[in-house]
Amino acid sequence: MSLHTRTFVEDSSRFSEPFSVGHPALRAQKPRPVRGWIGHALRTIALWAHRATQRRDLAELDEALLRDIGKTPEEARRESEKPFWVR
């Protein structure tokens, strides 16, 4: 059984939810975006990690898959060799 599944008790009027930490009122709130320079730094790091992953994946594609996405092996090689911080 998944932790995300609600299991019903015999009378079906009550149910048990998976264990979660914190006050119920706080758990119901959506996380607020981090603002300021810390938020900017976190978003930049996330972007760089995403970019690095995409470029690593692009370098592993064969010619047939590159043709499917409209790229030549040379274009893919150039893009995958860029550092993660370069757009």
Query: Is residue 85 a part of any domain in this protein?
Result: yes
Query: Is residue 52 a part of any domain in this protein?
Result: yes
Query: Is residue 4 a part of any domain in this protein?
Result: no
Query: Is residue 57 a part of any domain in this protein?
Result: yes
Alpha-carbon distance 55 to 48, whole Å?
Answer: 11
Higher pLDDT, 79 or 28: 79
13 Cα distance to chain centroid = 36
pLDDT the model gives residue 66: 96
Domain that holds residue 45: 34-87
Q: How buried is residue 33: exposed, middle or buried, by Cβ count under 10 Å (0-12/13-18/19+)?
A: exposed
Tell whether the model's pLDDT for residue 28 goes beyond 90.
Answer: no
pLDDT the model gives residue 27: 67
Q: Does this model's pTM top 0.85? A: no
Q: Total structural domains in the chain?
A: 1
